[in-house]
Structure formats: structure tokens, C-alpha cells
Amino acid sequence: MERYIVRNIDRPDQTIIEQFSKLDVSTVYEAQGKIGLVSHELQTVKPGNKICGPAVTVTCYAGDNLMIHAAIEICKPGDVLVITTIGESRTGMIGELIVNALLKRGVQGVVTEAGIRDVAKIRECGFPVWSKAIHSQGSTKSRGGWVNAPAVCGGASVNPGDLVMADDDGIVFVKKEDLKLALESSNQRMAKEENTKTRIERGELSLDFYNLRGILEKENVVYYESEEARTARKSC
């Protein structure tokens, strides 16, 4: 099996990245047809962090971070390092030293389906990380893998240069070829939500403007004026 590193990848236009950065993960996920969402098992290390940038993908063998070290050289400012593993891994494959090296390269953040350590230091420097686990166990550096190869992270497929968005709600990937359509759909969704907010502010009920009363009726949901009324009907 060939193991390889691709040095140069196609990245989205910076203008598009800036437009996506104004959006949130939930909006983009819904707008692009409820695809690209990464497993909820990957959690942010520090609430309030938000990133939006092109993916540099890394595939390592579980418990071995050799390819993460190789990927540092490939990263460019604004990139997001997306780390997947062959085999389940909660080993602390990234710590303070690697984070410092990524900061030096201008990397925005890390999404990893493995573990991390030195969390206090990572929080202190403000570097955004989403990971599956926090674990002190160290990793080896002896197994070759892949940098900038197609990967699956947290159950979602990601290719080098795909857009990675992450915030307090989670992580979503947007395929390079779908960026324009996803952006247009996301902006339309945001406009629709603004209209919905206005209707709520006016006192309108979501049951009515979403036409949900008919569904309640179809599901045989019955209204009672009080618990006593419900009990009285049941006793008849």
C-alpha cells in the first residue's frame, strides 16, 4: 500500500471562506441538505472558539503521530488540520509542542478523532481544537500514513481543500465543488430565519406559521383544558 504526502492542494477562494465565516455550523449543515456533519463525539476544548478554513487531512495509525509532524510542514496560514486514525485511538496525539508549531505556521485549528493532552496550555493560548478525548497517554512516531489524502473523520468524508467549519455546535465539512451552492442556500436560510424571528417577535406561534396543528391532529394528539378534564374523560 502506497503511503504518501501531497504538498500542494487546491484551496477555496479567500472571499468565499470569509463569507462562510459569518455563518454557523448548524445553518450550513441544514442548508446543504443535512450532510457533512461530524460526530458529536468530537468536542471543543474551549467553548467560544470558531474556525473556518480549508482542510489539510492527516491519516495516522492509532497511537502514532508521525504523520502529524509531517503535516506541519505542508500547512499554510488559515488551514485547518483534520486528523483521522486507522483504528480507534484516544491517545493524546497532539499536545502543547505540536500546537506551538501549528501556531507558528498560521494554522487556524485542529479537528481530530483521536485524543489530545496539555489541555490547560492549549486553552491558555486560545488555539481551537475539537477532539474525541483528553488523555495523557503519549504516542509513538514510527508508522507512515498519509497527508492530504481523502479521509473520513467522525463519520464524515473530507477531501484536502474542503471547507471545515467548527463552533460550539460541532463541525461540518463542505465539499469544494459544493461551496457556491451551499453558501447561497445558507444565506437564503439565514434570511428565512430573520423573517421567522420577526414573526415570533410579533407574537405569532410556530404551531401556526409552520402549519403544525394538522400534524398534531394526524398524530391523534388531544387537547384538554385541565388534568381534571382529561381524567374525567378517561373514566367515562
Has 154 been labeled as part of a binding site?
no
* Angle CA 27–33–37, to nearest 5: 65
Instruction: Give Cβ neighbours of residue 127 (< 8 Å, ≥ 6 apart).
Output: 99, 102, 103, 109, 110
* Residues 168, 92: Cα–Cα separation, whole Å: 22
Has 3 been labeled as part of a binding site?
no
* Residues 13, 16: Cα–Cα separation, whole Å: 5
Has 11 been labeled as part of a binding site?
no
Has 2 been labeled as part of a binding site?
no
* Residues 205, 185: Cα–Cα separation, whole Å: 25
Has 97 been labeled as part of a binding site?
yes
Has 233 been labeled as part of a binding site?
no
Coil/strand/helix, residue 97: helix
Q: Which residues are annotated as a binding site?
A: 95-98, 117-118
Q: Which residues are annotated as a binding site for Mg(2+)?
A: 118
Q: Which residues are annotated as a binding site for substrate?
A: 95-98, 117
